[in-house]
Amino acid sequence: MLIKRPKGTQDIIPGTIEKWHYLEEQIHKVCREYGYQEIRTPVFEATELFQRGVGETTDIVNKEMYTFLDKGQRSITLRPEGTASVCRAYVENKLYAQTLPAKLYYLGPMFRYENTQAGRYRQFHQFGIEVLGADDPLVDVEVINLLWDFLQRLGLRGLQVHINSVGCPQCRAVHGEKLLAFLMDKKDKLCPDCLSRLTRNPMRILDCKNKDCQALITNAPTTLDTLCPSCRQHWEKVQHYLKLVNIDFMINPKLVRGLDYYQKTAFEVMAEGIGAQSAICGGGRYDGLVEEIGGPPTPGIGFAAGLERILAVMQNQKIEIEDRNKAGVMVAILGDKARQEGFRLAGQLRQKGIITLMDLMGRGLKGQLKYADRVGARYVLILGEEELAKGIIIVRDMKIGDQQEIALANTVEFIEKQINSSEFEI
């Protein structure tokens, strides 16, 4: 094989695509029920959008973006996440002038230039929702509730919701100072990454995975310790509402998400058994983002869920989905006249919404039956010169292994009745 797909990309082929279709259906369904509307934005944007929207200090912007110059020398970036684009579209289309809040969801591929591993790809898919224009803690919980509901409907078990509040810029500044003071005499023991975080984004030292740093910060002040009265009240209410809707959550003061735009509520959903990358969804509140990219001051909150990771959990937990693509009917034909009549018949059956296949390989009857068996067709209609001459057709039930002759003219009606009868099971 000469040409292979680029590193970190995936071909989704028959056998797997059914799972994607199923996931996508569930997404559309749950979003509709919660009153969210789909938004589709370009898969590439001006690089500046992500630099400003995601944040210059983030790994995404620093090392993971697929950026290139187009023929007009514009710097273009394949979107690494969805929130910045949705906010841009919200501003550009003046959705703030319509009924608020804007409750939006999206679904599609994202791109990050990273080394691959289990659950990490260069092109991956996210489903996400965003609520723009509402700052009530109830909104935070509606968002988490939708997410949780969705995951429960899929039948996923053993998931954990981690939640934290990182405060607003004001209380975060206070936290930064306290953290700095706390680390004053420990500076030289921090890892190089954390040393640079110290000045750029000290909060992120809290979730450094380096063991030495972990030890240093065990008793460090967390953002929860320094919440201002307003943020504290918001945080208390979020917890209250979460309990109200019976969502078990775990407060994780070290949960400090990588994207610069998060404020107040931050959360993640973790799963086991899918490798080191165990976060299947992440989200939070980003009240300053819309303003940052040139819109009116607008509170916002949302999450993004990784579809590959959710599928990995489903596979790990052996959650099967029904295959609805099995053929109902396979038309087996012998001879050219039968071929023509069978082709016509297949067309009629398809018009009735019955999945109908027919031989396209010039196989003999035996081969056609074998094919019907392979593709899981329930009925085979056998039509040859003899049947044609008598004006009949043989209906073979592949599951029972039985067959009968019926009048050719009644075929569609007969099959329709069979398939709609309560006994019919693929």
Partner RNA sequence: GUGGAUAUGGUGAAGCGGUUAACACACCGGAUUGUGGCUCCGGCAUGCGUGGGUUCAAGUCCCACUAUCCACCCCA
| Chain residues that interact with RNA, rule: CB under 7 A | 4, 6-8, 58-60, 81, 112, 114-121, 124, 126, 193, 207-210, 257-259, 268, 275-282, 304-306, 308-309, 334, 363-367, 369-370, 372-374, 382, 384-387, 394, 396, 398-399, 401, 403
C-alpha of 384 from chain center: 49
Q: How far is the CB of 101 from RNA (least distance, A)?
A: 22
Q: Which is nearer to RNA, 143 or 305 (CB)?
A: 305
User: Nearer to RNA by C-beta: 76 or 365?
Assistant: 365
List of long-range contacts for 342-347, beta carbons under 8 Å, 24+ apart: 342/381, 342/383, 345/381, 345/383, 345/393, 345/411, 345/412
3 state DSSP class of 248: coil
> Residue 4 CB, nearest distance to RNA (Å)?
6
Identity of the residue, 199 or 351, whose beta carbon is nearer to RNA in the bound complex? 199
Tell me the closest approach of the beta carbon of residue 408 to RNA, in angstroms.
12
How far apart are the C-alpha atoms of 239 and 252, rounded to whole Å? 13
Minimum CB distance to RNA, residue 114 (Å): 5
Closer Cβ to RNA, 244 or 343, answer by number? 343
Q: What are phi and psi of 406, to 5 degrees?
A: -135, 165
17: helix, coil or strand? helix
Taking the least distance from each CB to RNA, the nearer of 179 and 244 is 179
Task: Name the minimum Å distance from CB 278 to RNA.
Answer: 6
* H or E element that contains 397: strand 392-397
Instruction: In whole angstroms, give the CA distance from residue 182 to residue 219.
Output: 9
Rounded-to-integer distance, Cα 103 and Cα 303, Å: 12
Where do we find the tokens 């937990």?
Answer: 317
Contacts of 183 (CB under 8 A, 6+ apart): 190, 198, 205, 216, 217, 220
Going from the C-alpha of 342 to that of each of 86, 365, 375, 381, 383, the distances in angstroms are 51, 14, 18, 9, 7
Q: How far is the CB of 282 from RNA (least distance, A)?
A: 3
Q: How far apart are CA 284 and CA 300, in angstroms?
A: 9
**138/159 with CB nearer RNA:** 159
CB of 98 to RNA, least distance (A): 27
| Residue of 80, 68, 85, 150 lying closest to 112 (CA atoms) | 80
Closest to RNA by CB, 70 or 425: 425
Q: In whole angstroms, how close is the CB of 108 to RNA at the nearest point?
A: 12
Name the residue nearer to RNA (CB basis): 160 or 232.
160
Is residue 408 within 8 A of residue 344, CB to CB? The reply is no
Give the nearest distance from C-beta 99 to RNA in angstroms: 28
- In the complex with RNA, the residue whose CB is nearer, 94 or 153, is 153
For residue 132, give both structure tokens.
Answer: 């723009």
Number of helices (H), then strands (E), belonging to the chain: the values are: 15, 16
Identify the CA nearest to 127 among candidates 260, 287, 269, 310. Answer: 310
Tell me the one-letter amino acid at 333. Answer: I
Nearer to RNA, 67 or 403 (CB): 403
* Minimum distance, C-beta of residue 196 to RNA, in the bound complex (Å): 11
* Residue number, 315 or 348, with CB nearest to RNA: 315
Beta strand segments in 65-205, E = 66-69, 75-78, 102-111, 123-132, 160-165
Q: Closest approach of Cβ 384 to RNA, in Å?
A: 3
Distances (CA, A) of 124 to 295, 307, 364: 29, 8, 44
